[in-house]
Amino acid sequence: MIPLSWYLLFAAALFGIGLYGALARRNAVAALMGVELMLNAVAINLLAFWRYLDPGRMNGQVFAAVLFAVAAAETAVGLALIISLYRLRRTVLPEEADLMRG
Q: Which of positions 27-66 make contact with another protein (CB under 8 A)?
A: 27, 29-30, 32-34, 36-37, 40, 43-44, 47-48, 50-53, 55-56, 58, 61-62, 64-66
Q: How far apart are CA 81 and CA 102, in angstroms?
A: 22
CB atoms within 10 A of CB 38: 19
Rule CB under 8 A: choose which of 42, 87, 96, 100 binds another protein. 87
Q: How far apart are CA 58 and CA 55, in angstroms?
A: 7
**Type of residue numbered 79:** L
Q: How far apart are CA 16 and CA 23, in angstroms?
A: 11
**Closest distance between another protein and the C-beta of residue 78, in Å?**
9
Q: Binding-site residue total for another protein (CB under 8 A)?
A: 71
Asked if residue 97 binds another protein (CB under 8 A), the reply is: no
**Closest distance between another protein and the C-beta of residue 25, in Å?**
6
Asked if residue 96 binds another protein (CB under 8 A), the reply is: no
Q: How far apart are CA 50 and CA 63, in angstroms?
A: 10
